[in-house]
Amino acid sequence: MQTPRLFSILPEYCVTPDGMAIEPESGDLIVSAPNFADPSWPGCLLRFDRDRNVRKWVDVPVHPETGLAHPMGIEFGPDGDLYVCDNQGWSGKPELQFKSRMLRLRIRDDEVVDYTVVASGMEHPNGIRIRDGFMYVTQSFLTKVEDPSGLLMSCVYRFGLNEQGVEVTNTLADPHILTTFITWNEDDQYGADGIVFDANGDLLVGNFGDGAVHKVVMDDVGNVISNEVWAQDLDQMQVTDGMILDPDTGNVYVADFSPNAIAKISPDGTVTRIAQSPDSDGTNGELDQPGEPIIWQGKLVITCFDLVVDPSKVNTAHQLPATMSELDLE
């Protein structure tokens, strides 16, 4: 296995890094900071230039009722606007449970000059990918839906890039739900999380608690043909947080959040753990609760969430400064 290296020690205004995207025009790396560990710091976006210099790019517009913004998954649209999962409900506070939003930000000269609320009333939006005029968003909880199994249901929402003002219902009657998932692991009831399109254009979705990646196949008009587990090996991958596809090899890299690891899934669905770290503060480059990987400048760059503490996690405490790690592509 590889030994992770330090990519960056982050500034004080980023206490919880999460999602990443590459700005199309400049090639700069953008990192979301929901800052759940200390909400007195505003949810913001960081920007790394090609020389790895980091600075704050913008603060994300806050919710008018809660006064908060917690950006997680991010993705640039074809016109350069940035789409953001504002996950108000991640903290578990009842008053925030259904206050989450999908935002479209127009950023010019380091300023949000306009923004649109694509969807509101969401419970737990997490990851996002954009393809052919639509955004696909994982929602890790659908607690309004009571499955006969008694287990957690989650879903993928699909919204048109130009939609706005959508009020989701968080029920199966919602026309924007593309497909749903049950998390069968009773000891880790956390659902759809990482999301990516594979080389064939099929949608891959991580079911976090099951440590499984589902393949969602759609027909030419976007109807779901099948939704089945494509990759799962609990000896090599315990859970599935953020994911990224290497277009050159077809490999998918997964943030294995709970054991501080990174997994590689080959195009045939074979899972291999390529790096793992013990509990640490991350300042020597260790994987300190990896949240999302991305491929940037020929390396696998990883945000370290470093916040969740429970018996299933290697992580035992939140520590500052926040960090990011890197690995070589395999």
Per-residue pLDDT, 187:
96
Q: Cβ(275)–Cβ(1) under 8 Å?
A: yes
pLDDT (tens digit, 9 = 90+) per residue, 86-99? 999 999 999 999 99
| DSSP code of residue 236 | T
- pTM for this model (two decimals): 0.97
Tokens 């917690």, located at residue: 70
Taken in order 92, 97, 102, 103, is the CA torsion positive or negative? Answer: negative
Question: Which pLDDT belongs to residue 150?
Answer: 97
Which pLDDT tens digit goes with each residue over 178-197? 999 999 999 999 999 999 99
DSSP β-bridge partners for residue 214? 205, 229
Percent of the chain with pLDDT over 70: 100
Total domains, the chain: 1
Per the structure, the complete domain to which residue 97 belongs is given by: 5-328
CA 260 to chain centre: 16
Q: What are the beta bridge partners of residue 275?
A: 2, 262
Report the b/e string of 116-150 with b at 16+ CB within 10 A: ebbbbebbbbbbbbbeeebbbbbbbbbeebeeeee
Q: In the predicted model, is pLDDT for residue 312 greater than 90?
A: yes
The confidence band for 330, taking pLDDT boundaries of 50, 70 and 90, is: confident
Helices (H) and strands (E) in the chain, counts: 0, 25
Tell me the CATH number at 195.
2.120.10.30
Cβ neighbours, 10 Å, residue 9: 14
67: left (phi over 0), alpha (psi -120 to 50) or beta: left
What's the CA gap between 163 and 30, in Å, rounded? Answer: 24
| Per-residue pLDDT tens digits for 16-30 | 999 999 999 999 999
C-alpha separations of 143 from 154, 188, 224 in Å: 8, 15, 23
Task: Report the alpha-carbon angle 119-147-71, nearest 5.
Answer: 30
Residue range 228-256: mean pLDDT, rounded: 98
| CA Rg value for the chain | 18
